[in-house]
Structure 1
Amino acid sequence: MISRKLAPSLLIAALALGGCAALVDRKATAREDAAATLYPPTGQFVTVNGTRIHADVQGAGPDLVLIHGASGSSRDFTFDLTRRLKSTYRVIAFDRPGMGWSDSAPNTDTSPLGQADLLIAAATQLGATHPIVLGHSYGGAVAMAWALRAKPTALVIVSGATMPFPGDLGLWYKVTSSTLGGHTIIPLITAFAPQSRIDASVNAVFAPQSPPAGYADYIGTGLTLMRDALRVNGRQVNSLKPYVIEMSKIYPDLTLPVELVHGRADTTVPLKIHAEPLSKLLPNATLTILDGAGHMPHHTHPDAIIAAINRAAKRAKQR
């Protein structure tokens, strides 16, 4: 959830510090080591074709998989939503490949379909063969890919980036996904990104609401700022558009129950570009629009998200 607003100031810093690679590396390594100590894995690891996938598993009941968005980790869900759900569901919150504590899979981690393949295999190892799958933001694309690859019981797409969008995503992702940016700008971000800018980025993602108390401390923005995670995130987001263009052509074939939940005030993943057209493509979708809600309704409107999950489970059972 680190804002592209950091890009201009860090581009300037890259020029100023271009000759100080050793200093930057030491500072970045120290911040990464501190983040790893402060925010250790909360769950267990599953190995799929040599790739370790981190999964936080809690509760009992029907299997429910949670897939986080860009620049995030499973901590986005274990902060609060998992606690609300674990008395009803067996909740499996994954770190997507290359994010949080999951390994990167260089040949597949830029593709929502490739990520879905890894998470499906990990879920199968955990005994979840036909779960309800919830995806938030970028994770919505991975959840849609899961449905195209396997047979989940139902989908819940929250603020999902699932449809082709106009234009590109701007300088930030172009820089962080590039080889040059990966070797110059990203180490500077890891080493020197000020906490005030990080906090401002988190606040911007929640707008027009505010993050709940303790959220920024719990999710571990230091994990997001690790060099490898920044590089993977940049590649994943910058390459998303061609995948959703192709995936959207197959969406009408999905007949499983789908609950779409989207904030009307979401400017990160706009309702009119994503959830509304998606609801018209899917033959068995229900769209819930949350007036005044931004991009993080699983935190700002958790009851609406839980209601959507329960509806998805009920509709699947009725089938």
Structure 2
Amino acid sequence: MTDISPRQTHVTSADGTAIAVTVTGQGRPLVVSPGALCAAQDWQLLADALAPHMSTYAVDRRGHGASADSPDFSIEREQEDIAAVLELAGSDAILLGHSYGGLVTLGLALRQPPAGFILYEPPVPVHGPVGGAALAPFEEAVEKGDLDHALALGLRNFLKLPEEAIEAFRREPVWSVRASMTPTWAREVRAMDAFGDDLERFARLETPTLLVVGELSPPWLTDTSRRLKRSLPNGSLVEIPGQAHDAYLTDPAAMAEAILPFALKPVSAMGDRRGDITGTGGRC
């Protein structure tokens, strides 16, 4: 019997940084680029749900989990990290990007289109800067070591969560874990704001793409995904009822049900659109 239990491995990115990857399951590979306050372990419930059907390669992005970091941070370095994991996973891998991890994968896909693409609420700043003036007080709280306050500021000002949602989240055990990750959030929010609001550049991305939104997610995120879908020539969208920005944690079975029909399509059905399109792309 094939062992589908999780196992950790590492790849070496283009700049020499060691990137940790947790591999779970069997079948078609799915490479996951997590969001800003998440690591590979946060995707384990979904990986377990997918294990009979897919091999999930959940990435610890640089500076998170068991991955190393580098002082030379940029979203381009993160794209190189994901490219290294895609090479490990194989040419038929589906690429999934969540939140900020979705921006990382969007930039990569313009240069190196995957066989298939899943985007879960990427925060393209079409409604204005994600951080903007709110970055300064956030970074001050981090510098003072007040990570609880920093997390509250980020949830309020970056994700635009209502106060009642923040207070409910504060009572959950995972609050302290998310707070511990806030020191890397500022650089990622800066990368979000620098990403640009031009959605038309993605009209050249012919890769079959599934956009996933939660029924209860912040409206600015779901609106961004719906607008992005209209820019993609091969885009489709699925909404997960009763869920928000983290269905992979709160209802992994529902998320697996939402993505499996797309992810298990044969490559021939999706269309082989993995050639290099750098020459037609804009700045990512």
TM interval, short-chain normalised:
0.7 to 0.9
Secondary structure at 2:238 match in 1:
strand
Aligned pair count reads 255
Question: 2:280: which partner in 1?
Answer: none
1:142 aligned residue (91, 104, 127):
104
Which of 36, 45, 56 is 1:70 aligned to?
36
C-alpha distance after superposition, 1:157-179 (max 9, x if no partner): 112223533244366533445xx
**Residues 40, 59 of structure 2: 8 Å contact kept:** yes
1:1-319 correspondence runs (5 A): 43-48=8-13, 49-78=15-44, 80-107=45-72, 109-111=73-75, 113-124=76-87, 126-169=88-131, 173-177=135-139, 181=140, 185-189=142-146, 193=148, 221-222=176-177, 224-226=178-180, 229-245=181-197, 248-267=199-218, 270-272=221-223, 274-306=224-256, 307-314=258-265, 316-318=267-269, 319=271
> How far 1:92 moved relative to its partner?
0.3
Q: CA 1:105/1:250 → structure 2, altered by over 3 Å: closer, same or farther? A: farther
Residue 57 of structure 2 aligns to a residue whose secondary structure is: strand
- Answer yes or no: is the 8 Å Cα contact 2:7–2:24 preserved in 1: no
Q: Cα distance 1:154–1:127, how it changes in 2: closer, same or farther (>3 A)?
A: closer
- The 8 Å contact of residues 57 and 89 in structure 2, kept in 1 or not, is answered as no
Segments of 5+ residues of structure 1 without an aligned counterpart are 1-40
The gaps in structure 2 that reach 5 residues or longer are: 1-5, 272-284
Query: Equivalent residue of 1:262, what SS?
Result: strand
Output the TM-score relative to the length of structure 1: 0.68
Structure 2 vs 1, CA of residues 243 and 128 (structure 1 numbering), >3 Å: closer, same or farther?
same
Assess, with a 3 A threshold, how the Cα gap between structure 1 residues 264 and 235 changes in structure 2: closer, same or farther: same
User: Distance between the aligned counterparts of 2:104 and 2:33, measured in 1?
Assistant: 8
Larger Rg: 1
SS at 2:244 equivalent: coil
Structure 2 length as normaliser, TM-score?
0.75
1:133 CA drift (Å): 0.8
CA contact under 8 A between 1:134 and 1:158: conserved in structure 2?
yes
Report the secondary structure of 1:174's partner residue. helix
Is this contact kept in 2: 1:53–1:103, CA < 8 A? yes
Structure 1 residues 131 and 105: CA distance shift in structure 2, 3 A: farther
Coordinate RMSD, CA, aligned: 3.5
1:7-41, Cα deviation, whole Å (9 max, x unpaired): xxxxxxxxxxxxxxxxxxxxxxxxxxxxxxxxxx9
Deviation at 1:299, TM superposition (A): 2.9
Identity of aligned residues (%): 24
Letter aligned with residue 77 of structure 1: W
**Structure 1 residues 285, 163: CA separation in 2 closer, same or farther (over 3 Å shift)?**
farther
Amino acid at match of 1:88: H
The 2-side partners of 1:244 and 1:42 are apart by 37
Q: Helix, strand or coil: the match of 1:99?
A: coil
> The residue matched to 1:92 in structure 2 has which SS?
strand
CA distance in 2, matches of 1:168, 1:162: 9
Residue identity opposite 1:106 in structure 2: P
CA–CA distance in structure 2, aligned partners of residues 164 and 114 of structure 1: 23
Structure 1 segments, 4+ long, off by >6 Å, are none
C-alpha deviation, 1:241, in angstroms: 2.1
| Residue 189 of structure 1: how far off its partner (Å) | 2.6
- Pick closer, same or farther for the CA change 1:207–1:302 going to 2, 3 Å: farther
Instruction: Give the letter for the 1:122 counterpart.
Output: V
Partners of 2:242 and 2:266 lie apart in 1 by 27
* Gap change, CA 1:47 and 1:225, over 3 Å in 2: farther
- Distance across 1 between alignment mates of 2:51 and 2:242: 28
